Amino acid sequence: MKNHLVVAIAYDQLCTFEFGCAVELFALQRPELGVDWYRFAVCAAEPGKIHAAGGITVEAPYTLKLLDKADTIIIPGWRDADEQPPEALLKKIRAAYRRGARLCSICSGVFVLAAAGILDGKTVTTHWRYAERLAGRYPQLDVKPDALYVDQEQVITSAGSAAGLDMLLHLVRKDHGAKVANLVAQRLVVPPHREGGQAQFVPRPVASDDEGRLAKLIDMVRAKPGLPHTLQSLAKYAAMSPRTLQRQFQQATGLGPYEWLIRERVAIAKELLESPATPLPQVAELAGFGSEESLRRHFRRIVKTSPGAYRLQFGEAAASR
């Protein structure tokens, strides 16, 4: 790792927070760690002034030529997922990939790597808001919308803004070991490793229908999640056939009624878990799971962590620390 050069790419309409994550992790000197820390530099993706979010201007001292020497390249969120990145930038990224440089993206920065054509056949992630668009535009990618970050050795992609910190700490852990990564995390006052994935933060799907029958059905389920709901009972309440309910539910929420019901119960459980006063058996009962085992199974499948771990991270006690 001696003289390992990390280069962050700056461009007009720069995502300030994500760029700042790279600066915080790699630009600060850390002699107290006793390891060969990184060299850090910033290069501009294009000529002209670089305006960043928040009304600030960034002056990058290097051009894209610096990418020819970079060991690790970090791409903050790209300014517009629908905008084709400059060909000069894509050409440099392809060259860096061919010579073995490590390429890392935060949030929508993955669209730059995808446009460069270096992600074909790889597993990647991005912010959950962009996951469907990424998968649709680049069907040759295996997009994991629930992951905080995905490590494919030479290419590492991460989800929305703060997940960039998770990924960058992961790089430190790979390069210098867990002890050093933990010390850096302590200085940042963040956990060295977060359990779970983006599913913890994705909002609950909201249905809309012209006649309001699905909206009324959803209101009823949210008010009475503990009832033994079935497709037949839900269809009867909505005054539809089970087949019609299945179709309209899928159109309105993107989920079938049963999967929506499970995810709704998980969402209710998450809200209950944020209060330490509600014991786990009661959480399972109030959310409609009936048993702790059922709660744990579905919670881990959807949220990618356990109810107990979620409570530790998001409960009132965690917030007051």
Architecture of domain 5-198: 3-Layer(aba) Sandwich (3.40)
Quickly state the pLDDT bin for 148 (edges 50, 70, 90): confident
> In angstroms, rounded to a whole number, what is the distance separating the alpha carbons of residues 62 and 39?
14
> In angstroms, rounded to a whole number, what is the distance separating the alpha carbons of residues 4 and 38?
5
Stretch 179-202: mean pLDDT: 71
Q: Is the pLDDT of residue 321 over 80?
A: no
Which amino acid would we find at residue 135? A
pLDDT value at position 316?
Answer: 59
Tokens of 45: 């993706």
> In angstroms, rounded to a whole number, what is the distance separating the alpha carbons of residues 172 and 5?
13
Q: Is the pLDDT of residue 207 over 60?
A: no
pTM of this prediction exceeds 0.85 = no
Pairing mode of beta strands 155-158, 102-106: parallel
Pick from 217, 215, 219: which is nearest to 230 by CA? 217
pLDDT value at position 21?
Answer: 93
In the chain, list all ranges with CATH 1.10.10.60. 213-319
In the chain, list all ranges with CATH 3.40.50.880. 5-198
Tokens of 215: 């909206």
**Alpha-carbon dihedral 67, 70, 72, 78, rounded to 10 degrees:** -20
The superfamily CATH assigns to domain 213-319 is: Homeodomain-like (1.10.10.60)
pLDDT over 90, % of the chain: 51
> In angstroms, rounded to a whole number, what is the distance separating the alpha carbons of residues 169 and 185?
7
